[in-house]
Structures are given as structure tokens and as C-alpha cells.
Amino acid sequence: MNTAVQWITWFVLGYFVLLNLGYLALNLLSMGSLYRGLQEKVLDELPQVFTGLDPAISLLVPAYNEEASMADSLRSMLQLAYSNFEIIVINDGSKDGTLDVLKREFELEVFPEAVNERLPTQPVRAYYRSRLHANLRVIDKDNGGKADSLNAGINLSRHNLFCGVDADSILERDSLQRVVKPFLRDPTVVATGGTVRVANGCVIEGGFMTQVNLPSNPWALFQVVEYLRAFLFGRLGWSRLNAMLIISGAFGLFRKDVVIAAGGYRVKTIGEDMELVVRIHRHLRAQGTPYRIEFVPDPVCWTEAPEDLQTLRNQRIRWQRGLSESLSGHAGLMFSRRGGAPGWLAYPFMVAFEWLGPIVELGGYVFMAVAYALGAISWEAFAVFLFVAVGLGILLSVSGLLLEEMAFHLYPRMGQLALLALVIVAENLGYRQINSWWRLVGLYRWATQREAKWGEMKRKGLKART
């Protein structure tokens, strides 16, 4: 090999080794957290008593063209086992029958509200309340995107803890009990995030998950494995270090006063969930305020994943652009004097392996394949690359599946575990590379400042029985 090829080869190999070592470290941190969580879970089996002193929570549900799943999602939220909560649905100028479904299913009536508009939003057309449920209110507003909808919900909310929930999500009955626990344990906690799972293929009865199945659609199957890996040894590992930079927009609990002080959700970004969390880190660390942002590993939220290639592609492009906006907009956090673990560990890791990762990963695959085909590198060097890039990726995904099986046992049948194992292998032999290409497209669109939109998702609606 000439010197240039040799250096590039070592760089590519080193990059993939560091990538997998980083995820392995997060995996080990996650194991410790899950072990402690399993010990605490024994207490959860005891009868739960509501003291009336549980902190009140406002559930904010942005909805844009969600008529397929809106009613079931709301029914599950209304039956949550929690003593004091309200639900605010924000209809963000839907073009379908979302508002009509809400009016019909929950008997809405127009109701004048006195609103403290601490965050600017698009004009509100009307406020509604339900005749059936005293804790359900609806905002009908002009379209402004998800961030704008959440800001409108914050303005109307009555409580200092608010929880953003996607309209296509199904919550476990004890979701709020679990996600609020860190706030009860530690007064410095300002935000918590829950686990999100793929609901495709599952059965819903009365607004709740009654039967956990794997989806038959291959694209949704790949996402089951992705979600297991991302939450169980991604966010859980970073949470141990108080360095979690992402709380899923599908299920996250925040202190309202902290969010308002940080400026609320930023409407000119696609990744409003991550951008807010990174901004909170930067804001509180600059002030020297003690705080914690924690991840709750229990499977508390189920969501419908895309099942067609085009929708999945658009989603991943949007996610990568949102990641780019969040990181580039808060570069001052990285290696800052008060940056701590978020600025010195999580931020550089996200830049190197999530933000710029698609360039190195796809470039590495192309370079190694071409170099081997031209005889510039040996078979041994190419085999080492395949082991590091593909083999270790499979092993890490398998470890994520084992963590899920030990901690939650959601997929008890051997046939389900065997299918997931096969999906893990297939994922690393094509799907992850396609995903890297989509991420690269998202990175390019961010760099060229292509017009960004919240986007629409084709939904079939979750399989429900009443």
C-alpha cells in the first residue's frame, strides 16, 4: 500500500473501532442502570396509593393530520393511573378530519380561555373543552409546526410540569407514575424522557396495549431493533453521566419554568426536541445551576413507525437535519469551561459519530471496497474492516436485544427473539448503510439550507379493538 492509502485505511478502521467502543461503554453503563432499576421494580409490584401530593402534569399533544390514531391515543391518556393531570390537544391547522374526530368523540364545545401568552405562537382560532372529560381541552390554531404547537400548549397549561406526547402514541397506564419518579427523588431534575417502542403489529384495546407483537412489515421490523438499541444503551448510558442530549418528542416530561426561561421550543428548527434539551444544558451550565436530565428505561410509550420506504426516508432525512441544527446552533457547549459531561463527552461524541458519521461511514465503505477491488489493500485488511464495521455492529445490537430480554421480556416467545436476531443481522447488511445515505442527504440539505418542513407521515392507524 502506498502511504496515502495506508493512512486512510488506518483512519477508517480507527473510526469504526472508536465508534463501537463508544457504544460498548454506553452499553456497560446501561447494564448498571438496568440492574438498579430491576431492584427498584420489586416495589412497583406493591399496591400503589395516590397521596394527592403527586405533582400535577399537563399533557401536551400536538396534532397534525392525525385522524387515524387521535381517538385511541386520547382514550389511553384519559385512563392514565395518575392523580392530577390535564390533557391539551393542539390541532395545528390539520387538513384532514382531526378536529372533527375530536368534536365527535369527546363532545367539544367552544370555551373562552384567559391565556398568559409567555411564548409567541401562530394565531389561535378557538379554544375547546370536552363535555365528557373535565381535564381535556383543545386548541385549534393556524399551522406553525410542532414546536409552535407545543409553545401554544405551554401558554394554556396550568401546571409546572408538562409532558409532550405525540398524537400517534399509546401510553402505558402507569406511564406518568414512572416518568415523574426522578422529580420526586431529586429536586434538581428539570427533564425526564421515557422509552419509546414500535407499536406496529400490536393490538390495542380500550386505548391500551393488550398484546405485544412484532410487525410483519420489514421496514417496521428494522425500526424495532433500532429503537431497542437507541434507548436501552444509548440514552440510558448518557443518562448515567447526566449528559443526555436527546429526549424523544414522543414522550418527555419538563419543568415549565425552566423551558420558558430557556426561550421555549424554537420554531425555526426541525429537531425541536433535541434542540431544546441541548439549549437547556447550555443555559443551566452557563448559569452554574445544579440540574439533572434523566432517562426512564421502562417501556412507557408506543408509537406507530413508518412502513413505506418514502416516509421512512423523509423521516430520517428530517431527523439528521434536526440533529445538525441542534448541534451547530450550540457549538459553544463543546469543550466549554462549564461544559461538564455534556460538553466534553456527549457533544463531541454526537458530532463525530452521529452528525458527521454518515460522511466517514459511507466514505469508508466505498474507499475500502474500491481499494480492495484495485488490490491497494490486502484481503486481511478488508476482512478486518468488515469485522469492525459489520461484525461489531451485529454484536452490539445483539447485546441490546439481550438487555431488553433481561430487563423487560416484552417479546417472550422464542420465535419472536429468533426473528429479531435475524433482523439484527440483516440490518447490518444493508439497512444501516441505506440509513447512512439518508442521513447524508439530511446533512447536505442542512448545509445547503434547503427549505425545511415538519413533514407528513402516512399512517394506517394502530390495530385497535374496542
For residue 416, the enclosing domain spans 3-19+349-447
Same domain flag for 363 and 322: no
For residue 1, what pLDDT is reported?
54
- Residue 102 falls within a domain, yes or no? yes
Rounded Cα distance between 457 and 94, Å, is 13
Q: Which three cell numbers stand for residue 412?
A: 417472550
Contact 127, 156 (CB under 8 A): yes
Based on the domain organization, do 461 and 417 belong to the same domain? Answer: no
Do both 121 and 240 map to the same domain?
yes
Q: What is the mean pLDDT of each run of 10 residues along the chain (466 residues)?
A: 85 93 87 65 53 84 88 85 94 92 94 89 95 95 94 96 88 90 94 90 79 91 88 84 91 96 91 93 95 87 90 93 93 93 96 93 94 91 92 85 76 86 91 94 90 56 50
> Coil, strand or helix: which one is 193?
strand
- The CA distance from 274 to 452, in Å, is 16
**CATH value at residue 55:** 3.90.550.10
Question: Distance of CA 168 to CAs 69, 141, 193, 214, Å?
Answer: 5, 19, 17, 18
What is the predicted pLDDT for the residue at 255?
A: 97
| Per-residue pLDDT, 298 | 80
Quick one: 310 and 419 in the same domain? no
**Whether residue 422 is found in the same domain as residue 440:** yes
Asked whether the beta carbons of 121 and 155 are under 8 A apart, the reply is yes
The per-residue pLDDT for 392 is 87
Q: Give the gyration radius of the chain's Cα atoms.
A: 22
Number of domains in the chain: 2
Work out the end-to-end distance of the chain between its first and last CA atoms, rounded to an integer number of angstroms. Answer: 67
Judgement on whether residues 152 and 11 belong to the same structural domain of the protein:
no
Instruction: Please tell me whether residues 424 and 292 are part of one structural domain.
Output: no
- Tell me, yes or no, whether 56 and 9 share the same domain: no
Q: Phi-psi category of 375—alpha, beta or left, where left has phi over 0 and alpha has psi -120 to 50?
A: left
Report pLDDT for 400: 78
Q: What is the pLDDT of residue 373?
A: 93
- What are the Cα distances from residue 313, in Å, to 254, 307, 320, 333? 30, 10, 11, 30
Identify whether 45 is part of a domain: no
In the prediction, which pLDDT does 46 show? 54
- Of 328, 382, 337, 314, residue with least CA distance to 356: 328
